[in-house]
Amino acid sequence: MGIKERALKAFRATRGLGIPDEEVKPVLHDLLEVYGYNWEPIEAEDYRALIDAYFEFKENQGVEDETEDNMENDGSKRPSKKLQCEGQEDHVSSAITNSSKTLALKKATVPLNTDTQEIMESSQRCSMDRRIEFSSQPPDMQLNSESKDVISSHLPSTDRKSTHDRVSRAVYFKRPLDAHGSSHTSKENGPTSHCNRKLIKPKNEQLIGDMACGESFPARRLKKRASGIGNSGRDLNEKGKNCSGILNSSNLVNNQRQTVASDQKRLFLSISDITKGAENVKISLVNEFGKEDLPKFNYMPHNTIYQNAYVHISLARISDEDCCSSCSGDCLSLSIPCACARETGGEFAYTQQGLLKEEFLDACMSIESGVHDRHLVYCQDCPLERSKNEYFPEQCKGHIIRKFIKECWRKCGCNMHCGNRVVQRGITCELQVFLTRGGKGWGLRTLQDLPKGTFVCEYVGEILTNTELYERNMQSSGSERHTYPVTLDADWGSEKVLRDEEALCLDATFFGNVARFINHRCFDANLTDIPVEVETPDRHYYHLALFTARKVNALEELTWDYGIDFSDHNHPIKAFTCCCGSAVCRDMKRKS
Ligand SMILES: C[S@@+](CC[C@H](N)C(=O)[O-])C[C@H]1O[C@@H](n2cnc3c(N)ncnc32)[C@H](O)[C@@H]1O
């Protein structure tokens, strides 16, 4: 592997912990010097030595700053830095001092070059006369074998006011359904008063407050080098035990790692993989503020039926018209779109690069925004309305007729690398759950630049009938309102009569994937959701895939317009006060 590639991999690893590249670069420089430009000890154990050196550096930097101030004032000695965590102090500095694994870094002889190229150059300049004292063993940052799962140990304490969506997608509702069968009347020219969105071209969101790692460690070059960067030999597990319930209340999965830094009494909590190995990629979680409990849910990479939902998956149900059995290889290389593409409106939705075609994406977004024709259908016997009561006193507000993507599947003759199989292959982007600022709780961000049309993840949850969701909501107390259900109503406009067990939603409250962390943004969200048919032609069940609506930069929060009508005061469930920060926020209450 080339040096550039190695440096990039190192940045990727530290980015996963919310550490900005600019800050880790000088540390990497120093470490390379220390290890005689041998990358192996740096790369070992997921860059443990580098991560530890970085946090050591941050601590020492703080100590240095304090010392310099103190010495200027009264000439006193450097105070020992103590870990402070929710009111408790942990004498980390003594652990560092007493450690037999002290790494004495010699002062950097290379200038503060901070780009990869410079790291390459200095790496190539490797000289042999460096006198280094260090232990080859990186510190043990891993939690012990008692550790299991921190995710399931805490309930989120964020203000989880109940939300709703009166139109379709992200519907937050609770209403009983006790009748079977429905008929729909298309009223495409009917009123579109509620939630009547205009098409607003998504533009770069201002990153106010949500680039958490950038804020915690300001992106500035490190002017001072710590004299004692390196292995501390500190026992983070011990520290964890001293650090309130967050770390000791549960067992952690072996490969999950928590880092606690005493940076101005701030708790820096990090979990390396909330998916517990269930996805193709690891998805980390960081909390730099220390004021939030961990989310409590079970990570699940695929939708799963809770109980009564009717989702019939069988090869026999897939007719010849619903698959491309005579294809082979990659369907995208065909001159004539295959049968699956014909289901997607006569052409493939994806490009050779695996992105959503711009025209397809724009068409989907314009349908949702209603800039052209909103394609609403109003049910005469809406599954949500069937049992009108105090929870749903109004008439059906209409459902958007949406464009579907149809992916190739098992009965098709093509292979798994076929370009018409994107969503079914799962998450490939580098994502991170982080604690947002400004009242939104946890959020999701990308750690890499994402071009427009990138598949990010699907919205995964328990498949519930609307009745089951209603019953769930009835059982939950006011403070535990479910705020994660999404109605699968993209095909409710068809002539098909929907039985209760076919009127479905996805609830990610207890079981779900990373999409449950995606916050709402009015109008100009950077993600959009598109229904995807994969394993069954029955469109009352489908996958809800989230794609980038524009180019999204690394570290930007990923957002999705839930479609909430904040002005609908009649709705039984009060929407949350929107803190999306969009210039076109629909929550007038918030604006005023
Ligand atoms: C699907 S969850 C998103 C993840 C959530 N922030 C968390 O901490 O788990 C939806 C909930 O997040 C919060 N939320 C999402 N978007 C918001 C926004 N723009 N303003 C305020 N709260 C928001 C609301 O409490 C909402 O009920």
What's the CATH code of the domain at 494?
2.170.270.10
Q: Is 70 exceeded by the pLDDT of residue 206?
A: no
Query: pLDDT at position 152, please?
Result: 28
Token readout for 40 is 């192996």
Question: Chain-wide mean pLDDT for the chain?
Answer: 68
Token readout for 484 is 């994660």
| Ligand 1 centroid – CA 76 distance (Å) | 49
Query: pLDDT at position 550, please?
Result: 98
457 and 532 fall within a common domain: yes
Give the closest residue to 301 by CA, choosing from 461, 430, 528, 529: 461
Query: What's phi and psi for 438, nearest 5 deg?
Result: 90, 30
124 and 204 fall within a common domain: no
Q: Which of 172, 519, 557 to mutate to test the pocket of ligand 1 (most atoms within 8 A of CB)?
A: 519
CB of 558 sitting under 6 A from ligand 1: no
Give the closest residue to 508 by CA, choosing from 252, 232, 295, 196: 295
Token readout for 540 is 């009352």
Residue owning the nearest CA to atom 27 of ligand 1: 483
553 in a domain, yes or no?
A: yes
CB of 276 sitting under 6 A from ligand 1: no
DSSP conformation class of 479: G
38 in a domain, yes or no?
A: yes
Higher pLDDT, 210 or 336: 336
Q: Taken in order 40, 45, 49, 54, is the CA torsion positive or negative?
A: positive
CB atoms near residue 547 (< 10 Å): 27
What are the start-end ranges of the E strands in 301-354?
A: 304-305
Query: pLDDT at position 472, please?
Result: 83
* pLDDT above 90: percentage of residues in the chain: 35
Give the closest residue to 282 by CA, choosing from 447, 396, 440, 394: 447
**Nearest atom of ligand 1 to the alpha carbon of 163:** 27
| Ligand 1 centroid – CA 129 distance (Å) | 56
| Ligand 1 centroid – CA 441 distance (Å) | 6
Query: What amino acid occupies position 333?
Result: S
| Ligand 1 centroid – CA 493 distance (Å) | 29
What are the start-end ranges of the E strands in 160-220?
A: 184-186
Interval 102-155: pLDDT, tens? 222 323 222 333 334 444 444 343 332 222 222 222 322 222 222 333 322 222
| Ligand 1 centroid – CA 54 distance (Å) | 32
Higher pLDDT, 1 or 142: 1
The phi-psi region of residue 338 (left if phi > 0; otherwise alpha if psi is between -120 and 50; otherwise beta) is beta
- Give the range among 185-189, 202-206, 446-450, 508-512 with minimum mean pLDDT: 185-189
What pLDDT band is residue 380 in, cutting at 50, 70 and 90?
low
581 in a domain, yes or no?
A: yes
Residue owning the nearest CA to atom 4 of ligand 1: 517
Domain of 507 in residue numbering reads as: 184-210+299-591
CB of 483 sitting under 6 A from ligand 1: yes
Q: Is 90 exceeded by the pLDDT of residue 470?
A: no
Residue owning the nearest CA to atom 15 of ligand 1: 519
C-beta of residue 499 within 8 angstroms of C-beta of residue 180: yes
Q: Which of 155, 440, 560 to mutate to test the pocket of ligand 1 (most atoms within 8 A of CB)?
A: 440
Token readout for 538 is 């029955």
189 and 254 fall within a common domain: no
| Ligand 1 centroid – CA 144 distance (Å) | 33
| Ligand 1 centroid – CA 301 distance (Å) | 20
Query: pLDDT at position 78, please?
Result: 30
Higher pLDDT, 376 or 495: 376
Interval 158-177: pLDDT, tens? 333 333 333 333 333 322 22
Q: Is 80 exceeded by the pLDDT of residue 304?
A: yes
Token readout for 154 is 């805490």
What is the rounded average pLDDT of the residues 33-41?
A: 74
What is the rounded average pLDDT of the residues 277-304?
A: 92
Token readout for 301 is 């990479």
CB of 441 sitting under 6 A from ligand 1: yes
Whole-number Å distance between alpha carbons of 114 and 478: 51
Whole-number Å distance between alpha carbons of 432 and 234: 26
* pLDDT above 70: percentage of residues in the chain: 59
Query: pLDDT at position 127, please?
Result: 30
Query: pLDDT at position 254, please?
Result: 31
Q: Taken in order 218, 222, 225, 231, is the CA torsion positive or negative?
A: positive
What pLDDT band is residue 391 in, cutting at 50, 70 and 90?
low
CB atoms near residue 206 (< 10 Å): 10
**Nearest atom of ligand 1 to the alpha carbon of 158:** 8
What is the rounded average pLDDT of the residues 34-52?
A: 78
Q: Rg of the Cα trace of the chain? A: 27
Query: pLDDT at position 191, please?
Result: 31
Q: Is 80 exceeded by the pLDDT of residue 389?
A: no
Q: Is 70 exceeded by the pLDDT of residue 554?
A: yes
399 and 547 fall within a common domain: yes
474 in a domain, yes or no?
A: yes
Query: pLDDT at position 28, please?
Result: 87
Q: Which of 576, 585, 587, 589 to mutate to test the pocket of ligand 1 (most atoms within 8 A of CB)?
A: 576
Query: pLDDT at position 373, please?
Result: 56
Whole-number Å distance between alpha carbons of 175 and 56: 54
Query: What's phi and psi for 368, nearest 5 deg?
Result: -70, -40
Half-sphere exposure of 196 (CA within 13 A, CB side): 8
Q: Is 50 exceeded by the pLDDT of residue 379?
A: yes
Q: Is 80 exceeded by the pLDDT of residue 195?
A: no
Query: pLDDT at position 354, please?
Result: 97
Q: Is 70 exceeded by the pLDDT of residue 270?
A: yes
Whole-number Å distance between alpha carbons of 148 and 258: 12
DSSP string, 63-74: HHHHHHHHHHHH
CB of 578 sitting under 6 A from ligand 1: yes
Higher pLDDT, 572 or 241: 572
What pLDDT band is residue 283 in, cutting at 50, 70 and 90?
very high
Whole-number Å distance between alpha carbons of 511 and 462: 6
197 and 237 fall within a common domain: no
258 and 196 fall within a common domain: no
CB of 574 sitting under 6 A from ligand 1: no
**Nearest atom of ligand 1 to the alpha carbon of 522:** 19
Half-sphere exposure of 459 (CA within 13 A, CB side): 32
430 and 517 fall within a common domain: yes
162 in a domain, yes or no?
A: no
**Nearest atom of ligand 1 to the alpha carbon of 518:** 3
472 in a domain, yes or no?
A: yes
- Give the range among 51-65, 96-110, 363-377, 379-393 with minimum mean pLDDT: 96-110
Number of domains composing the chain: 2
192 and 225 fall within a common domain: no
Give the closest residue to 526 by CA, choosing from 445, 439, 425: 445
Whole-number Å distance between alpha carbons of 96 and 235: 10
What pLDDT band is residue 590 in, cutting at 50, 70 and 90?
low
Query: pLDDT at position 99, please?
Result: 29
495 and 397 fall within a common domain: yes
Q: Is 70 exceeded by the pLDDT of residue 213?
A: no
Query: pLDDT at position 572, please?
Result: 55
**Nearest atom of ligand 1 to the alpha carbon of 520:** 16
253 and 360 fall within a common domain: no
496 and 459 fall within a common domain: yes
Residue owning the nearest CA to atom 24 of ligand 1: 160
| Ligand 1 centroid – CA 440 distance (Å) | 5
Q: Are strands 376-379 and 184-186 parallel, antiparallel or unpaired?
A: antiparallel
What is the rounded average pLDDT of the residues 372-378?
A: 68
Whole-number Å distance between alpha carbons of 400 and 529: 13
100 in a domain, yes or no?
A: yes
Give the closest residue to 527 by CA, choosing from 484, 563, 558: 558
Token readout for 266 is 């701030």
| Ligand 1 centroid – CA 109 distance (Å) | 48
261 and 199 fall within a common domain: no
Interval 72-117: pLDDT, tens? 443 333 323 222 222 222 322 222 222 222 222 323 222 333 334 4
163 in a domain, yes or no?
A: no
C-beta of residue 557 within 8 angstroms of C-beta of residue 527: no
Element (H, E) at 394: none
Q: Is 60 exceeded by the pLDDT of residue 63?
A: no
